[in-house]
Amino acid sequence: METTLVLIKPSGVQRAICGAVISRFEQKGLIIEGMKMMQLDEKILREHYAHLVDRPFFPSLIESMTVTPVIALALRGVNAVNVVREMTGSTNARKAAPGTIRGDFGMSGQENILHASDSIESAEKELARFFKPEELFNYTPITFPAIYASDDLNA
């Protein structure tokens, strides 16, 4: 089992589609291990988007990511990092496939509704960045045996 980080960005909060986005993950069978609203600032975004600090769009990205609070989600499941990335879709929402969250809800490269960790290593770092250990809850929902066969859990 893996846990991955999602941020519903200000574009998702402003569009009032947080519920719709969270529903997609719940319907898929991902377990919500943590969820909270938080106001990001430049300091945490410089860490989170360290790979982009030298890009010309970085100031605009900071502004966009701080205009409202975000919703942070920790989602658990088998291969959760890849499953959630696939559900998220390509970075540019105009090019993201229909059926993905960005593909279904967005029209922008920057205002693309959500962030999702891109690897197991990133997920570990990002979860530690956005959640304290006591904000993550390791429980098993009663639906668990209907979501996974034992083979899935050995994968």
Contact residues for ligand UDP (CB under 6 A)?
49, 52, 57, 61, 91, 109-110, 112, 115, 118
**Binding marks (x or -) toward Mg ion, 107..126, rule CB under 5 A?**
-----------x--------
Comparison of 111 and 118: residue with beta carbon closer to Mg ion: 118
Integer Cα distance of 16 and 68 in angstroms: 12
Give yes or no: 115 in active site. yes
**How many chain residues interact with Mg ion (CB under 5 A)?**
1
The residue type of 119 is S
Comparison of 57 and 144: residue with beta carbon closer to ligand UDP: 57
Q: In this structure, what token pair is assigned to residue 50? A: 């360290």
Gyration radius from the chain CA atoms = 15
Residue 67 partner contact from ligand UDP, Mg ion, none using kind-dependent CB cut-offs of 5 to 8 Å: none
CB of 118 to Mg ion, least distance (A): 5
Please, are residues 75 and 86 in contact by the beta-carbon 8 Å criterion?
Answer: no
Integer Cα distance of 87 and 120 in angstroms: 16
Residue 69 partner contact from ligand UDP, Mg ion, none using kind-dependent CB cut-offs of 5 to 8 Å: none
Catalytically annotated residue among 8, 93, 115, 126: 115
Query: Closest by alpha carbon to 10, among 130, 114, 148?
Result: 114
Close Cβ partners of 96 (under 8 Å, ≥ 6 residues apart): 88, 89, 90, 102, 103, 106, 112
Q: In this structure, what token pair is assigned to residue 116? A: 């999702």
Residue 109 partner contact from Mg ion, ligand UDP, none using kind-dependent CB cut-offs of 5 to 8 Å: ligand UDP
Q: Interface with Mg ion by CB under 5 A: which residues? A: 118
Which residues are part of the catalytic machinery? 115
